[in-house]
């Protein structure tokens, strides 16, 4: 048996689907892949069955979708690859988060109990659930008033996407349900609990989404009681204070879970982690000085470093958060992919759609082609990419987008290119902030969704950052990353790896084509970037607070309209 090849399974739980891969532990080749589209996806309007309506900004998921994903994908991996279950040496999972699930003591989601299923708060609140914004704002204020040291690690601002705003919302809006919940568990830990019967709390989600740090642990009880005296002991009552490092074995596959997946029980299951963080080692980023740039609806920038520096405007900074022994920094650009889509949907004349149809290419491809035919600065446009505010480095959701330089000759492809460029100027701003704060960046590796396949965008990225841009050669980097952590959890003795660095080195691959800056474009982009910086600082640092004033005015009008 030992001569046979070894495999691990990685399962990535996203917004609308779960993606599973079977990975050859020797060379990283994906032997089989299977995707399961959730029947419920992200639920924003009505609860399933009961039809209870959800308020604005709600976003929940169905726990059964998660379990069904296990049942549907893994057996497919096995049948397609036709390998022996004995060859599976580990299972790893990653999850979008913070997704918070209130459960009974045995891990049963309250959403699945008749008693609670009509209460929206019983359901797993998906990370994009932003109804707790007011709680997030108050938490930021409490933390600032108390001079909490953790606040700096999160760019000075707590997001509604994180763990404790959702917990506080649950307590405040449905206290009987808060009391009924024996456990408040992160989805990335809940799924591991289902696989192993063991409740763990992974370092990645605790560090990036729940204020935990290796040196300081969770905030003090006095912090939680400042929210509400009843929440003082939330960690000890509803969570686990003990944190599981990444790449560790959380437990072994139970009989039940093995049956779901047609696997053998006893297989090591790795500690859970967050989806974008799992993508990092899969994108060959596991050493200090490397940045993984994950391009999706948002852009995420993960940087590894030996040392701890305070970098302004981060989304999080977590020791051991991705690779044990290294500090992981996360920065973000909010809505970057979204505003390209906004442009395509809202600002393209019909003749462009006809042209795309005639050429039998997508409108995205047509626009990339047209925009790529332009030279930098040929449009005379420069933009600020703040359609959804600015996360890093300004941490200001009240900022908005700007385009400057319109003339009667301005063409749609020129605007599109200006939006791409502005986004990458925002990336350079983050990049420079890391470097200026003491964190070196020697290499940038790109992975992610549609934007990661946009050659023009990657070209601009190379010329604006003046770095060679490498691209991960795997369409499912998160699932591949989960499989890598599984190989580490399995350990060398079973044919896996001792460290995630080693696994990353052996199992990740880059595309042969990288993007190299050219001297001419570099120079032009330096000039355009200086224009971006002037506008960035003028509007971003409050020299002219027009964006905030306009937003205030707008919010007032919309509120009045709704109340009328």
User: Which positions touch a copy of itself (CB under 8 A)?
Assistant: 335, 338-339, 342, 345-350, 353, 375, 377-382, 386-388, 400-408, 410-412, 415, 524, 527-528, 531, 534-535, 538-539, 544, 546-547, 549-551, 553-554, 557-558, 561
Determine the Cα–Cα distance for residues 34 and 18; give it in Å rounded to an integer.
8
Q: Closest separation between CB of residue 297 and a copy of itself, Å?
A: 10
Least spacing, CB of residue 543 vs a copy of itself, in Å: 9
Question: What are the E-state strand segments in 323-384?
Answer: 327-333, 382-384
Q: In this structure, is the dihedral angle defined by the CA atoms of residues 326, 327, 328 and 333, taken in order, positive or negative? A: negative
In the bound state with a copy of itself, the residue whose beta carbon lies nearer, of 245 and 380, is 380
- CB closer to a copy of itself out of 206 and 384: 384
Q: Which is nearer to a copy of itself, 114 or 564 (CB)?
A: 564
Picking from 2, 18, 122, the residue whose alpha carbon sits closest to that of residue 74 is 18
Nearest approach, Cβ of 375 to a copy of itself (angstroms)? Answer: 5
Residue appearing with tokens 């967050």: 274
**Residue 326 Cβ vs a copy of itself, minimum distance, rounded to whole Å:** 34
| CB-nearer residue toward a copy of itself: 342 or 364 | 342
CB of 294 to a copy of itself, least distance (A): 20
What are the tokens at 97?
A: 């988060």
Cβ closest to a copy of itself, residue 359 vs residue 404: 404
CB of 560 to a copy of itself, least distance (A): 9
Report the C-alpha gap between 403 and 329 in whole angstroms. Answer: 30
Q: How far is the CB of 416 from a copy of itself (least distance, A)?
A: 11
d(C-alpha 220, C-alpha 438), whole Å: 30
How far is the C-alpha of 444 from the C-alpha of 502, rounded, in Å? Answer: 19
What is the separation, in whole angstroms, between the first and last Cα of the chain?
73
Q: How far is the CB of 427 from a copy of itself (least distance, A)?
A: 19
Rg of the chain (C-alpha set): 24
Least spacing, CB of residue 403 vs a copy of itself, in Å = 5
State the CB neighbour count (10 A cutoff) for residue 544: 12
Write down the least CB distance from residue 229 to a copy of itself, Å: 39
Nearer to a copy of itself, 512 or 519 (CB): 519
Q: Which is nearer to a copy of itself, 455 or 552 (CB)?
A: 552
Closest approach of a copy of itself to the CB of residue 383, in Å: 9
CA distances from 36 to 30, 108, 367, 492 (A): 17, 22, 31, 31
Q: Judge contact between 312 and 437, C-beta under 8 A.
A: yes
Q: Where are the alpha helices (DSSP H) in 453-545?
A: 455-465, 477-490, 500-507, 519-540
List the one residue out of 187, 189, 246 whose CA is nearest residue 481. 246
Nearer to a copy of itself, 442 or 552 (CB): 552
- Cβ atoms of residues 185 and 199 within 8 Å: yes
- Region of 197 (left: φ > 0; alpha: ψ -120 to 50; beta: rest) is left
- By beta-carbon proximity to a copy of itself, the closer residue of 358 and 561 is 561
Contact (CB, 8 A) for 525 and 376? yes
* Residue nearer to a copy of itself on the CB measure, 214 or 411: 411
Letter string b/e over residues 14-46, b meaning 16 or more CB atoms within 10 A of that residue's CB: bbeebbbbbbbbeebebbbbbbbebebbbbeee
Cβ atoms of 219 and 150 closer than 8 Å: yes
Element (H, E) at 470: strand 469-471
Considering beta carbons, is residue 2 or 345 the nearer one to a copy of itself? 345
CB atoms within 10 A of CB 304: 25
Burial class (CB in 10 A: 0-12, 13-18, 19+), 102: buried
Taking the complex as a whole, the smallest distance from the CB of residue 553 to a copy of itself amounts, in Å, to 4
Helix 477-490 / helix 500-507 crossing angle, nearest 10 deg:
130
> CB-wise, 52 or 373, nearer to a copy of itself?
373
Least distance CB 359 / a copy of itself (angstroms): 16
- Cβ nearer to a copy of itself, comparing 245 with 556: 556
């Amino acid at each position: 048996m030992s001569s046979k090849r070894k495999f691990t399974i990685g399962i990535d739980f996203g917004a609308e689907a779960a993606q599973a891969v079977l990975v050859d532990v020797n060379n990283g080749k994906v032997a089989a892949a299977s995707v399961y589209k959730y029947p419920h996806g992200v639920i924003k309007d009505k609860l399933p069955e009961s039809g209870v309506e959800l308020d604005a900004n709600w976003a929940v998921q169905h726990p059964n979708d998660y379990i069904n994903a296990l049942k549907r994908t893994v057996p497919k991996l096995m049948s397609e690859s036709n390998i022996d279950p004995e060859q599976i040496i580990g299972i790893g999972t990653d999850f979008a988060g913070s997704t918070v699930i209130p459960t009974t003591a045995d891990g049963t989601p309250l959403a699945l109990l008749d008693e609670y299923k009509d209460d929206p708060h019983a359901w797993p609140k998906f990370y994009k659930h932003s109804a707790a914004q007011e709680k997030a704002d108050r938490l930021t204020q409490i933390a600032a008033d108390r001079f909490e040291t953790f606040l700096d690690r999160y760019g000075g601002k707590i997001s509604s996407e994180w763990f404790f705003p959702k917990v506080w919302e649950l307590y405040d809006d449905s206290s009987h349900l808060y009391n009924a919940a024996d456990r408040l568990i992160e989805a990335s830990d809940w799924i591991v609990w289902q696989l192993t019967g063991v409740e763990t709390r992974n370092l990645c989600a605790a560090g990036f989404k729940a204020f935990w740090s290796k040196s300081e642990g969770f905030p003090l009880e006095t912090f939680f009681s400042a929210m509400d005296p009843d929440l003082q002991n939330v960690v000890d009552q509803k969570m686990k204070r003990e944190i599981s490092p990444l790449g560790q074995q959380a437990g072994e596959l139970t009989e039940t879970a093995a049956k779901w997946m047609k696997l053998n029980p006893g297989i090591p299951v790795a500690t859970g982690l967050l989806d974008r963080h799992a993508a990092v080692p899969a994108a060959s980023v596991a050493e200090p000085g490397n940045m993984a740039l994950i391009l999706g609806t948002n852009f995420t920038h993960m940087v590894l470093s030996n040392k701890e520096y305070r970098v302004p405007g981060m989304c999080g900074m977590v020791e051991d958060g991705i690779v044990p022994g290294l500090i992981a920094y996360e920065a973000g650009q909010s809505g970057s992919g979204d505003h390209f889509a906004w442009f395509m949907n809202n600002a393209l004349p019909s003749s462009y759609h006809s042209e795309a149809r005639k050429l039998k290419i997508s409108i995205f491809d047509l626009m990339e082609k047209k925009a790529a035919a332009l030279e930098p600065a040929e449009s005379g446009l420069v933009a600020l990419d703040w359609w959804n505010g600015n996360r890093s480095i300004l941490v200001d959701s009240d900022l908005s987008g700007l385009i400057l330089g319109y003339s009667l000759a301005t063409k749609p492809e020129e605007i599109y290119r200006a939006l791409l460029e502005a986004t990458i100027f925002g990336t350079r701003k983050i990049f420079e902030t890391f470097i200026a704060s003491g964190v070196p960046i020697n290499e940038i590796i790109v992975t992610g969704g549609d934007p990661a396949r946009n050659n023009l965008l990657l070209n601009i990225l190379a010329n604006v950052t003046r770095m060679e841009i490498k691209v991960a050669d795997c369409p499912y980097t998160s699932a591949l990353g989960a499989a890598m952590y599984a190989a580490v959890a399995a350990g060398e003795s079973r044919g896996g790896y001792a460290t995630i660095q080693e696994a990353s080195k052996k199992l990740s691959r880059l595309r042969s084509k990288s993007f190299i800056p050219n001297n001419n474009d570099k120079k032009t982009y330096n000039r355009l970037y200086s224009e971006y910086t002037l506008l960035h600082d003028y509007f971003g640092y409050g020299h002219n607070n027009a964006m905030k004033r306009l937003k205030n005015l707008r919010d007032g009008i919309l509120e009045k309209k709704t109340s009328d």
